[in-house]
Amino acid sequence: MSVSYRPATFDELLDLMSEKELIPFAGGTDLMVQNAAAGGPKFAGDVVFIAHLPELKGIRLEGDKLIIGASATLSHIENYPQVPQLLKNAVSLIAAPALRNRGTMGGNICNASPAGDSIPPLYVLGASFKLQSRDGVRVIKADEFFKGPGKTDRRKNEILVEIIVPLKEWNIEKYRKVGTRAANALTKCSITAAAKVKNGRIDDLSIAFGAVGPVIIRDKNLEKKLIGLTTSDLKARADAILKDYSALIVPIDDQRSTAVYRKQVCLNLLREFLEVDLGQ
Ligand SMILES: Cc1cc2nc3c(=O)[nH]c(=O)nc-3n(C[C@H](O)[C@H](O)[C@H](O)COP(=O)(O)OP(=O)(O)OC[C@H]3O[C@@H](n4cnc5c(N)ncnc54)[C@H](O)[C@@H]3O)c2cc1C
């Protein structure tokens, strides 16, 4: 039977994580489902509760960055005024209110599902993650953290402490989650896209797709090729751009949807972004 720990302080948590191999337990909304068993959950190892520690819970502004504690609940994030709208849109469509009162962004990130809904906006916004252990602090970019479904760069003794979100200005934003219904819908696929358009020209651009590959799909080289073009250029080149993205979008068939549907919907949403949203 697994043992559970409840450290009184963040320092104690770091000590425990350096002494033992523990499973951090934040809201438990992924862990309780993954480890469900008759008579109560059966975890693969010992568990450490982290949701009560104040160092992990706050949200604050630091210059031109928003710092979100890993154990900030999804509801807290959804209602915090300075959270970028793209991230709010994605978080507010996760599950349903009761679950968002308990689930955390740290949990959504460390669970590392390619369908984790908070993750594509974090790629687009250029977010980084602060990880801490008794060995020190590391900051790693969101797009370098994920290694595959359920796999991240987090070391066993590390805790995800904060999510650092640069507050950039975009004037065109798009977030669409495609699911079976409005609430409690697992994502079939999603697009998150943002652009800064100045005098009809693309000054900055970022596009990510969720649930259509082993990790979130974002290609900075493809984006670079589009920066500097006019919105009419983009419209004219939409077919070629879609072809490039088509090679990157590699969904699978599963109980939620089919690969063919997911890919086509992503390409349709991308076309809408290029031809309609950017033209506004
Ligand atoms: C009914 C239902 C509907 C759902 N709908 C959605 C949905 O629409 N979209 C979506 O994206 N998800 C959905 N989820 C999944 C889940 O609710 C979210 O991923 C949630 O954000 C997980 O947060 P948590 O705090 O509950 O994570 P937990 O279950 O506590 O932890 C998840 C994983 O992260 C690790 N972890 C947590 N915090 C840290 C930390 N600070 N440092 C290191 N490791 C950590 C844990 O060890 C575990 O491996 C749904 C779940 C349910 C049950």
At 198 the pLDDT is 94
At 185 the pLDDT is 82
Nearest CA to ligand 1 atom 15: 30
Mean pLDDT of 19-35: 97
Q: Is the CB of 140 under 6 A from ligand 1?
A: no
Q: Is the CB of 216 under 6 A from ligand 1?
A: no
What letter represents residue 158's amino acid? E
Q: How many domains does the chain have?
A: 2
Do 97 and 137 fall within a single domain? yes
Check: pTM over 0.95? Answer yes or no: yes
Mean pLDDT of 131-151: 98
Do 205 and 157 fall within a single domain? no
Q: Which of 114, 131, 166 is the last residue of a domain?
A: 166
CB 161 within 8 A of CB 59: no
At 256 the pLDDT is 87
Do 139 and 182 fall within a single domain? no
CATH number where 37 lies: 3.30.465.10
Separation CA 179–CA 256 (nearest Å)? 8
Q: Which residue has tokens 């975890």?
A: 43
Residues 213-257 have pLDDT tens digits of: 999 999 999 999 999 999 999 999 999 999 999 999 999 998 889
Do 143 and 178 fall within a single domain? no
Do 182 and 151 fall within a single domain? no
Please state, in angstroms and as integers, the Cα–Cα distance from residue 56 to each residue in 19, 112, 123, 202, 219, following that order.
20, 19, 21, 37, 31
End-to-end CA distance of the chain: 59
Q: Which of 112, 131, 166 is the last residue of a domain?
A: 166
Measured in Å, residue 258 CA sits from the centre of ligand 1 at 24
Mean pLDDT of 32-47: 94
Chain-centre distance of CA 258, in angstroms? 22
Do 121 and 205 fall within a single domain? no
Do 18 and 157 fall within a single domain? yes
Please state, in angstroms and as integers, the Cα–Cα distance from residue 8 to each residue in 48, 52, 155, 160, 273, following that order.
11, 9, 22, 18, 48
At 218 the pLDDT is 98
Q: Which of 166, 197, 223 is the last residue of a domain?
A: 166
Do 60 and 176 fall within a single domain? no
For helices 259-272 and 238-248, what crossing angle results, to 10°?
A: 150
Do 46 and 97 fall within a single domain? yes
Do 62 and 131 fall within a single domain? yes
Q: Is the CB of 25 under 6 A from ligand 1?
A: yes
Domain that holds residue 220: 172-277
Q: Is the CB of 70 under 6 A from ligand 1?
A: yes
Do 31 and 78 fall within a single domain? yes
CB 173 within 8 A of CB 194: yes
Q: Who has greater pLDDT, 177 or 185?
A: 177
Residues 184-216 have pLDDT tens digits of: 888 999 999 999 999 999 999 999 999 999 999
Ligand 1, residue 32: give the atom nearest the CA.
29
CATH number where 256 lies: 3.30.390.50
- If one residue of 10, 110, 131, 178 were mutated to test the ligand 1 pocket, choosing by the most ligand atoms within 8 A of its CB, it would be 110
